[in-house]
A and B are shown apart, each in its own frame.
Chain A
Amino acid sequence: MEGMSVIIKKVTQLLAGLIFVYGIYIILHGHLTPGGGFAGGVIIAGAFILLILAFGSSELNLKTEVSGSSGTESLAILLVVILALMSLLLGAKVFIVNFLPKGLPGELLSAGVIPLYNLFVGVEVAGAILTIFLALVIFKEESST
């Protein structure tokens, strides 16, 4: 897969960072404004997919990328499960409990563990979507050569 024209590359350079920051905003403000881990994760994956589509796979080492993204995804889902198990360690007899202090509703640091869940699920979703896309690209390149 070769890259696209100079115009698309330049516009992508300007836009991809903004899309990435917007995804981080959607994840971090998931408990305050519409959005959350799933939506923000897919937006972050979209920024990477835009870069890969515009610049082509020749300038990137796709094998390293896919091992990195699948590793990040596995680590994030492990952290989600550990966070769910934490309430068992802290004495509650049920699986998922909001054990951190709730704080003032409406503040950025509020709602207990919900921002942490949003963060880890967002990273996990971004890694999963990017892994699927990269696996498809690698499969296409291997089958065409």
Chain B
Amino acid sequence: MDLTISMILVFMIAGALFAIHAKDLLSAVVAMGIVGYGLVICFLLLKAPDLAIVQIVVETITLVIMVAVVLDSSRNEIEATFDRRSILQMVTGFIVFAGLLYFFLLAIENLDSLGSHTLRMSEAYVNGAVEKTGSVNLVTGVIFDFRAYDTLGEAVILYTAALGVLTLLRLKGKK
């Protein structure tokens, strides 16, 4: 299973790199779809169907909206110019990347291997969730009972996003 996931991850990285370098923006959007749908297969292989359902539906709708936006505006990427400022940006980006890689390599020593869990909290959740919440689906039991505060925040974030889009986009119709 590790080999399969590694192959899908390599495929996703290739799609992401192609999305950055594609000249046509429509093919860049389709290449971003490779990343999303590859992630769906990874979630299914890691036995997380809840996340896979959310990811596949959100990915499809995002792809529809992004294709509509690209078809409605320009399909050509803006030409990048190379001057002193871009050299500075590249150096800054490389320093940030090196710093993140250093801390990642420090942290990866303490991580468990993929799929195993040794945390005390997750043991308590897995063993006691059905009696405490009454929900057979453990994920729903966690997100609507143990972590219901987080879920309330997520719902409010989505509501605020919709309000923001309405406020930003519908100014013209209100005159």
Contact = CB atoms under 8 A, between A and B. Distances in A.
Binding partners A and B: yes
The size bracket of the interface on B is: 35 or more
Contact of B140 (A31, A70, A133): A31
Contacts, number: 144
Nearest to B69: A136
A105 B140 CA distance: 13
B140 A30 contact: yes
A35 B53 contact: yes
A118 B143 CA distance: 10
Nearest to A143: B172
B161 interface: yes
A34 interface: yes
Contact of A34 (B58, B139, B165): B139
Given A32-B137, A34-B137, A36-B137, A95 B149 contact: yes
A119 B94 CA distance: 47
Nearest to B172: A142
Given A117-B144, A138-B170, A128 B134 contact: no
Given A30-B140, A34-B53, A42-B61, A96 B155 contact: no
A132 B135 contact: no
Contact of A84 (B49, B69, B152, B165): B152
B124 to A, nearest CB: 17
Interface of B is mostly: helix
B162 A128 contact: yes
Contacts of B165: 131-132, 135-136
B53 to A, nearest CB: 4
Interface string A106-132: 100011111001100100110111011
Nearest to B143: A36
A103 to B, nearest CB: 6
A81 B152 CA distance: 8
Given A39-B54, A136-B165, 6 more contacts: A31-B141, A35-B53, A42-B54, A128-B158, A131-B166, A132-B161
Interface of B: 49-50, 52-54, 57-58, 60-61, 64-65, 68-69, 72, 130, 133-137, 139-141, 143-145, 148-149, 151-152, 154-156, 158-159, 161-163, 165-166, 169-170, 172-173
Interface of A: 26, 30-39, 42-43, 45-46, 49, 53, 63, 66, 70, 73-74, 77, 80-81, 84, 95-96, 98, 102-103, 105-106, 110-114, 117-118, 121, 124-125, 127-129, 131-133, 135-136, 138-140, 142-143
11 contacts: A32-B136, A35-B50, A36-B137, A39-B57, A53-B64, A63-B173, A96-B152, A103-B134, A111-B141, A112-B134, A114-B141
> Can you list the 9 inter-chain pairs with the closest CB atoms, starting with the nearest?
A102-B134, A34-B49, A111-B135, A111-B134, A31-B135, A128-B162, A139-B169, A96-B148, A39-B53
